[in-house]
Chain A
């Protein structure tokens, strides 16, 4: 199911506030995910959910806590107009979640609560609620290979 935030520049300070940077227990971090923007997030997020957001998702600090907190909350992918670079590579190299770039139309069409199915091999998203199909921006070659390997440590250059 989709949890949508219609805003740009959702930064790592709101995804996982700085005061929790000292915590390295992944499940405990999950309880603070998105606290800076949505204190209800932890109580509503379910395994297999997707976050949909605007441009420059994950900007700010390099804290890997941010994708970790989302991933351990059950989030499988973030669909955004664009991503900040460190959040993007942390998500992929650590195999925490899929950072998927979508276009403006897709962003507008997907609504809070929609059920989605993402087929990476086809670069396709199916919106089961609305019976629509969207294209996703293909991953670059290196990113595809690292995703398929299951993270940077399993990837053989």
Chain B
């Protein structure tokens, strides 16, 4: 069995599982946030009316809560949702609630690894599609809707069809100017936005071994854009050290068997990869940066679970140091812990000196929610994950998805720019 099959077999008390088997799987961790939380509350209200008991959760200690999409509240509905969420966690005895304005908080997928909320080998479900991100720690991490999350909160399990696994091998270390974002955009360009649909996308190879934990998280994060059920990487010593530094111990590493089977295997040579952008209006609509259209950009956005981790900010700082931005540039670190480290390491000063604005952790404009959404006709280059019509604001705005290095280089020139071409 491969790692996905082994985790799901363990969690469904089966000796063996194969693709297409359907099982109710015991869940180890669950996450809700300020969008899926109120959605779940609504489902609970419906269930109550149907006479279903929703007085107690299956295990509040396995649930954690993020405030990320609509914080800081820009209007009353968002503010009321945060109050609803606080009442919910209080009433149901959930301790792990990362609140805006109260120390550590941030984007749910970032908190999942920054706070070691999820461990290798676990089955983790979250009320958000980018839950896949956390598979970089070696867990089965999968996004679900409100009804399914409500079911897990009450029953501790959920049905899954065991997915086939597609393996992506990266041979060799990525060149200095190429980031994990470029690699995953290249993959999505190759297989399309449904190329991983219903499947696990697993990554391995010397290029992955060499890659930092945060860069690996970028890969698994955007498996969602290929339609995958999850993205996963077998855990190694880097994962153990990363989690130990965040206080997690007592976990075992699940890895695939030597005779593990894969539906398909793709191989990439790291030395051949180049900086990539995904043009509007799909993450699969890629081209190499040096062949990108010569559009005048209005804005550079550095944020989200995909592109505002510490190493993303470090990459941006490397480019912006001593330079000035030519277009509106916003930097929103993905969590307070990252914000603090960026401050300590001097990145925040570099951003401010360059003329960028630094905002609080939030999903913000990545999902067109608030904090810098795009007007009609505006063109943005962004470290985020989606560029469907209207994703970051007006349906006739445009988003180019790129790595932090490319986004920062483009902020300086106002055009889509390969970092190698900066003077």
Contact = CB atoms under 8 A, between A and B. Distances in A.
Contacts of B194: 9, 55-56, 59, 82, 84
Nearest to B34: A22
Contacts of B369: 18-19, 21-22
B202 interface: no
B148 A61 contact: no
A84 B38 CA distance: 23
B151 interface: yes
B368 A19 contact: yes
A93 B147 contact: yes
B368 A62 contact: no
B145, B227, B388 pick with most chain A CB within 10 angstroms: B145
Contact of B148 (A93, A141, A142): A93
B22 interface: yes
B70 A22 contact: yes
A4 interface: no
A36 B395 contact: yes
A108 interface: no
A84 B386 CA distance: 15
Contacts of A9: 193-194, 282, 388
Contacts of A22: 35, 38, 69-70, 77-78, 81, 369
A157 B157 CA distance: 11
A64 B146 contact: yes
Contacts of A89: 144-145, 148
A85 interface: yes
B388 A11 contact: yes
Interface string A53-81: 00110011111110000000000000000
Contact of A64 (B147, B151, B388): B147
A22 B144 CA distance: 17
A153 B367 contact: no
A55, A153, A157 pick with most chain B CB within 10 angstroms: A153
Contacts of A151: 147
A149 to B, nearest CB: 12
A136 to B, nearest CB: 18
B161 A61 contact: no
Interface in A111-145: 140-142
A151 B24 CA distance: 15
Interface residues of B, number: 48
A75 B384 CA distance: 32
Interface in B388-411: 388-391, 395
A24 B50 CA distance: 19
B253 interface: no
A24 B161 contact: no
Contact of B227 (A17, A63, A84): A84
B240 interface: no
Contacts of A65: 39
B145 A94 contact: yes
A101 interface: no
Interface string A8-23: 0101011001110111
A86 interface: yes
A152 interface: yes
B143 interface: yes
A89 to B, nearest CB: 7
A106 interface: no
A55 B227 CA distance: 12
A55, A59, A90, A141 pick with most chain B CB within 10 angstroms: A59
A62 B391 contact: no
B373 to A, nearest CB: 7
Contacts of B47: 153
A51 interface: no
Given A62-B143, A86-B145, A21 B389 contact: no
A150 B414 CA distance: 53
B390 to A, nearest CB: 4
A142 B129 CA distance: 22
A45 interface: no
Contacts of B198: 85
Interface in A1-42: 9, 11, 13-14, 17-19, 21-24, 26, 36-37
Interface of A: 9, 11, 13-14, 17-19, 21-24, 26, 36-37, 55-56, 59-65, 82, 84-86, 89-90, 93-94, 140-142, 151-153, 157
Given A55-B194, A62-B143, 20 more contacts: A9-B193, A9-B282, A11-B386, A13-B386, A14-B388, A18-B368, A19-B373, A21-B35, A22-B35, A22-B78, A23-B77, A24-B41, A26-B42, A59-B194, A62-B144, A63-B35, A84-B197, A85-B197, A89-B144, A94-B145
7 contacts: A17-B395, A24-B38, A56-B193, A60-B129, A64-B147, A90-B146, A151-B147
